[in-house]
Amino acid sequence: MSDEEHHFESKADAGASKTYPQQAGTIRKNGYIVIKARPCKVVEVSTSKTGKHGHAKCHFVGIDIFTAKKLEDIVPSSHNCDVPHVNRTDYQLIDISEDGFVSLLTENGNTKDDLRLPTDESLLTQIKDGFAEGKDLVVSVMSAMGEEQICALKDIGPKN
């Protein structure tokens, strides 16, 4: 029994949950919610009154933060909903590879090479054009529920 080797996969997030519970009645517009296992930004919340024996219901309309698809959900206001941990981090763009991946510089000086270029056409052209002109670009990366995607771009001037 003791001569068996055990291999454990190490997770960088130390087992932290991708979501946390929050009462449906306390989630507001511009907050975040998980609808159909997708992290969404809430664009509309409406609460219906209780029936004779029922609960008040919250109707959520959310936009998926990665695919921009519109999703809806109806939850009793006293019940808990999953809310994703959403992080936004800025990285400096170093390089764009031919296969559509970007090379980014993290704050501690390491590179991050596992992100694809965004699928949004206007953002994609801005990044490619700015990079081709030799500008120093900073991209904002949105991460939630194990997914990451470039969501915004800032120009910090030409390269020296």
Q: Where are the beta strands (DSSP E) in the chain?
A: 19-23, 32-35, 38-48, 57-64, 70-76, 80-84, 86-96, 101-105, 111-116, 135-144, 147-158
The pLDDT assigned to 2 comes to 53
Residues in the chain: 160
The pLDDT assigned to 157 comes to 64
The pLDDT assigned to 156 comes to 75
Residue 48 CB partners (closer than 8 Å, separation 6+): 56, 57, 59
Q: What is the CA radius of gyration of the chain?
A: 21
The pLDDT assigned to 36 comes to 92
Q: What is the model's pTM?
A: 0.76
Token pair 């990285």 in the structure block, residue: 91
The pLDDT assigned to 10 comes to 42
pLDDT averages per 10-residue partition of the chain, 160 residues: 53 64 91 92 91 84 92 91 91 86 87 84 86 86 89 72
| 116: phi then psi, degrees, rounded to nearest 5 | -85, 160
The pLDDT assigned to 11 comes to 43
In the three-class reduction of DSSP (H, G, I as helix; E, B as strand; rest coil), residue 73 is classed as: strand
Question: What are the structure tokens assigned to 124, written together?
Answer: 């994609």
Ordered domains of the chain (ranges, CATH): 19-84 (2.30.30.30), 86-155 (2.40.50.140)
Give the angle subtended at the CA of 42 by the CAs of 31 and 60, to the nearest 5°: 125
